[in-house]
Amino acid sequence: MSWRAPSGGVLRAFGLALAVASVVLPALPLGPLFAQPPLPLAVLWAAYGWAAEDEISWTAPVVLAALGLLHDQLAGGPYGLFVALYLSAYLAGRVAAVLMSAPNLISLWGGFIATALATVGVAWLLAPLGLGRNAPLTPYAETVTVTAILFPLVRPLYMQGQSRQQIRART
């Protein structure tokens, strides 16, 4: 009996489910398992991976915006903060995908770290606007750090191969 690697569609579905779970599960009163922050924010993985994989798809930003709105609602607002964070991760991921000529794990990891730092910068700009000037940025930075550390483990869920743009560039 041979083991077959799951297809790209299955991995993508798992990635989306993980992203949704990372938004919803911390908001549910499930006890200490999900109550001890910081938990990774899988939507950042999804934004980065989808940006590299599907440059021409319009569904990725729409899904990211919807997840951002859901996250804003669960967190108690303000609406738009997480939408901006996730879409900024998507845009930073696009830039990183263009800059990487020969992506490997290290460069992909570095690209994700840069993307995550970009979202921290966006949070530094936007959080005081929506939450007041004393809005804490450290918990989000901790969350992003954990997310960046765990990126190599989940990369296959979001980045099955090289981006079409990179393939076109090679050909």
Residues binding another protein (CB under 8 A): 23-24, 26-29, 31-32, 34-38, 71-72, 74-77, 81-82, 127, 131-132, 134-136, 138-140, 142-143
**Nearest-5° Cα angle at 75, 46 to 60:** 25
The nearest distance, CB 150 to another protein, in angstroms, is: 16
**Nearest residue (CB) to another protein, 10 versus 137:** 137
The nearest distance, CB 62 to another protein, in angstroms, is: 21
Instruction: Give the integer Cα–Cα distance in Å for 116 and 88.
Output: 9
DSSP classification of residue 29: -
CA distances from 25 to 14, 18, 28, 87 (A): 15, 10, 5, 21
CB atoms within 10 A of CB 65: 17
The nearest distance, CB 147 to another protein, in angstroms, is: 11
Instruction: Give the integer Cα–Cα distance in Å for 127 and 78.
Output: 9
**Nearest residue (CB) to another protein, 17 versus 30:** 30
**Nearest residue (CB) to another protein, 94 versus 151:** 151
The nearest distance, CB 97 to another protein, in angstroms, is: 27
Please name the residue that has the structure tokens 């579905």: 13
**Nearest residue (CB) to another protein, 37 versus 161:** 37
